[in-house]
Chain A
Amino acid sequence: MRDVAKTIEAVWKIESTRLIAAIARVTRDIGIAEELAQDALVTALEVWPEEGIPDNPGAWLMTAAKRRALDSLRRGRMLVEKHGEIARELELQQQHLGDALEHSLDQVIDDDVLRLIFTACHPVLSVEGRTALTLRMIGGLTTAEIARAFLVPEKTLGQRISRAKKTLSEAHVPFETPSGDELRRRVESVLMVIYLIFNEGYTATSGDEWMRAALSEEAQRLGRMLAQLLPNESEVHALVALMELQASRNAARRGKNGEAVLLPDQDRSLWDYAQIQRGMAALEQAQRLGGGAKPYALQAAIAACHMRARTAEETDWERIVLLYDALLQINPSPIVALNRAVAVAMVQGPAAGLDALDRAATLAGDSGLAGYHLFPSVRGDLLMKMGRLAEAREEIQRAIAMTKNLREQELLAIRLKQLEAALSA
């Protein structure tokens, strides 16, 4: 019984996206499509434990969804029966819709899946709404799972999903693949959502370990899926590369006691070299498509520089500075400038790094990032290297006060101790 439930869950994860996409081709509304698909799942949960799992569970779910759709069409027709003319016209429309549904369910095409992804990541939605819809409709996650991953109550997450569906429906967002300039903008939104899901799993330090690993793997799967659907979009391959390269360091990112281990101190033998290989291949693909200078490709190229170095000392920091320069030109963000300052310090020494950091801080200005703990943390490091210990201590203390992340607080506390020891010596 328990096994059947688990099997149904697995079947759902494999089949739900194509099921929803096929229904949406006819209903043109992904919210309605998802509800019909969910109805089919509920039917399966009732029937399969009794009758066993069908040989072709995907086709079974499709048929169940179609029946549900036709049922609700019939109910709709009864409501308008008394309105004569209009009713007849509606009847024709519904007949047509029923036929179309039957036809659509027989042949799901990749384009439908792509349309589903573009619609779930539509810019008319809040970023949170896009993320939730994507995980639900393309990831096949339950509301409870998504809520657990994002540490919000299930009810809140449920409301977020209904609101997103309502917004799409009210804005009459068409179920289509955009083209031309619009395509670029929409691909950007999809990539942003996927990378956000990845980072939620990769960098968050609170919450459920297992769920977070699942999130970052799910983002990688979505990326690979999208690379199949949009093989000519270089940034899709670049994002796949970036995620593979970052995730390949997973086993090395935690020490024996679960403490964070930063990149220069990681045991590089724990990196997953098969995954690095896949990441490098995806980056090459992005470059072959002419997208080497685009944002995700540049970030992946920076990650690749780290992965190529056998030891931290062998890192090609000069190349990393150049890549950050290029990235800063397209994306003049204080975070990019901050990372660039670290690379500059590695090449030209801490004083040059400090100059670069000042420029990054100017870029941050009064924005929320002015309170970002990495600014004082990096500054403290550089000052320490320059022997300006008292100033360094002040910066590290500031950094500790700014971060709520326990593991980062621990790392900073260690540095503070080192500084105090040096100061009293």
Chain B
Amino acid sequence: MRFMMMVIPKGYESAAPDAIPTAEAVAKMMEYNKALQRAGVLLALDGLLPPSTGARVSYAGGKATVSDGPFAEAKEVIGGYWIIQVRSRQEAIEWAKRAPMSDNEVIEVRQIHEMSDFPADVQKAAGGFQHRNPVD
């Protein structure tokens, strides 16, 4: 089973557009990433630029409205994620507990839907959609 561990760093909602993590923080994170990799559970990971560089597209009455970041109302924003393949929800939580986070930071652990978990009609509705063209 696959899980996404989403990092919600404190204060990231108002971080400057050019905010970058310190070398020390990156080094600690790399050690953790390496541990995930060594255990063979790491499938993907990425870090996201601050919301001040992003945009929100919201929908109302069939109309899309765009607002540029930062988003005054946002209290928690995602700073990055890992996708891991583990054997249980508890194992995903145990990995999250080992991440080098500072005070008040949060990691949200969520299981990823597998197509094979869906009933046949949902699978059929998804039919014909290819995430991306098969690669060379």
Decide whether A and B assemble into one complex. yes
Residues of A within 8 A of B (CB): 6-7, 9-11, 13-14, 57, 110, 113, 214, 217-218, 220-226, 228-229, 250-251, 254, 256, 267-274, 276-278, 280, 307-310
Asked if B136 and A308 sit within 8 Å, CB to CB, the answer is yes
Binding stretch for chain A, among B8-16, B34-42, B47-55, B67-75: B34-42
Q: How far is the CA of A303 from the CA of B99 in the complex (A)?
A: 36
Counting chain B CB atoms within 10 Å of each CB, which of A13, A110, A278 scores highest? Answer: A13
Q: B60 in the interface, Cβ–Cβ < 8 Å? A: no
Q: How far is the CA of A228 from the CA of B41 in the complex (A)?
A: 11
Q: B21 in the interface, Cβ–Cβ < 8 Å? A: no
Q: How far is the CA of A412 from the CA of B127 in the complex (A)?
A: 26
A6-B90 contact in complex given A251-B114, A277-B135, C-beta closer than 8 Å: yes
A-chain residues with CB within 8 Å of residue B85 when the two chains form the complex:
217, 220-221
Partner of B94, one of A7, A228, A271: A7
- 12 other A-B residue contacts (CB within 8 Å) besides A225-B39, A229-B38: A6-B88, A10-B93, A13-B86, A221-B39, A222-B40, A224-B42, A228-B38, A251-B115, A267-B127, A269-B129, A269-B130, A270-B115
A11-B94 contact in complex given A222-B40, A223-B40, C-beta closer than 8 Å: yes
Partner of A309, one of B94, B127, B134: B134
Residue of chain B at shortest CB distance from A217: B85
Q: B87 in the interface, Cβ–Cβ < 8 Å? A: yes
Partner of B88, one of A10, A113, A225, A229: A10
Asked if B40 and A225 sit within 8 Å, CB to CB, the answer is yes
Q: Count of A-B contacts with CB under 8 A? A: 90
Asked if A221 and B41 sit within 8 Å, CB to CB, the answer is yes
Q: B105 in the interface, Cβ–Cβ < 8 Å? A: no
Instruction: Give, as a whole number of angstroms, the nearest-CB distance from A328 to chain B.
Output: 25
Residue of chain A at shortest CB distance from B134: A308
Q: How far is the CA of A217 from the CA of B40 in the complex (A)?
A: 10
Q: B62 in the interface, Cβ–Cβ < 8 Å? A: no
Asked if A269 and B128 sit within 8 Å, CB to CB, the answer is yes
Q: B120 in the interface, Cβ–Cβ < 8 Å? A: yes
20 intermolecular pairs with C-beta atoms under 8 Å apart? A6-B88, A7-B94, A10-B94, A11-B94, A13-B86, A13-B88, A221-B39, A225-B38, A225-B39, A250-B116, A251-B114, A254-B116, A267-B127, A268-B130, A269-B127, A269-B129, A271-B130, A273-B130, A273-B132, A310-B133
Residue of chain A at shortest CB distance from B132: A273
Q: How far is the CA of A110 from the CA of B34 in the complex (A)?
A: 11
Residue of chain A at shortest CB distance from B126: A269
Q: How far is the CA of A61 from the CA of B44 in the complex (A)?
A: 29
Asked if B40 and A251 sit within 8 Å, CB to CB, the answer is no
Instruction: Give, as a whole number of angstroms, the nearest-CB distance from B38 to chain A.
Output: 5
Q: How far is the CA of A274 from the CA of B127 in the complex (A)?
A: 16
A-chain residues with CB within 8 Å of residue B30 when the two chains form the complex:
none
Asked if A14 and B94 sit within 8 Å, CB to CB, the answer is yes
Asked if B134 and A273 sit within 8 Å, CB to CB, the answer is yes
Residue of chain B at shortest CB distance from A11: B94
A-chain residues with CB within 8 Å of residue B127 when the two chains form the complex:
267, 269-270
Q: Return the 8 tightest CB-CB contacts between A and B, nearest first.
A: A225-B40, A10-B90, A224-B40, A221-B40, A273-B131, A10-B91, A251-B115, A251-B116
Q: How far is the CA of A221 from the CA of B134 in the complex (A)?
A: 23
Asked if A110 and B38 sit within 8 Å, CB to CB, the answer is yes
Q: B19 in the interface, Cβ–Cβ < 8 Å? A: no
Asked if B135 and A214 sit within 8 Å, CB to CB, the answer is no
B-chain residues with CB within 8 Å of residue A226 when the two chains form the complex:
40
Instruction: Give, as a whole number of angstroms, the nearest-CB distance from B122 to chain A.
Output: 11
B-chain residues with CB within 8 Å of residue A214 when the two chains form the complex:
87
Q: How far is the CA of A274 from the CA of B43 in the complex (A)?
A: 9
Q: B95 in the interface, Cβ–Cβ < 8 Å? A: yes
B-chain residues with CB within 8 Å of residue A256 when the two chains form the complex:
120
Q: How far is the CA of A7 from the CA of B38 in the complex (A)?
A: 21
Asked if B87 and A218 sit within 8 Å, CB to CB, the answer is yes
B-chain residues with CB within 8 Å of residue A218 when the two chains form the complex:
87
Asked if A274 and B131 sit within 8 Å, CB to CB, the answer is yes
Asked if B123 and A14 sit within 8 Å, CB to CB, the answer is no
B-chain residues with CB within 8 Å of residue A278 when the two chains form the complex:
43
B-chain residues with CB within 8 Å of residue A271 when the two chains form the complex:
130
Q: How far is the CA of A378 from the CA of B42 in the complex (A)?
A: 40
A272-B115 contact in complex given A7-B94, A217-B87, C-beta closer than 8 Å: yes
Q: How far is the CA of A214 from the CA of B39 in the complex (A)?
A: 16
Residue of chain B at shortest CB distance from A5: B90
Interface set, chain B 80-136, CB cutoff 8 A to A: 85-88, 90-91, 93-95, 114-116, 120, 123, 126-136
B-chain residues with CB within 8 Å of residue A225 when the two chains form the complex:
38-40
Instruction: Give, as a whole number of angstroms, the nearest-CB distance from A266 to chain B.
Output: 11
Q: How far is the CA of A222 from the CA of B88 in the complex (A)?
A: 16
Residue of chain A at shortest CB distance from B91: A10
Residue of chain B at shortest CB distance from A224: B40
B-chain residues with CB within 8 Å of residue A6 when the two chains form the complex:
88, 90
Residue of chain B at shortest CB distance from A229: B38
Q: How far is the CA of A294 from the CA of B26 in the complex (A)?
A: 38
Q: How far is the CA of A371 from the CA of B112 in the complex (A)?
A: 43
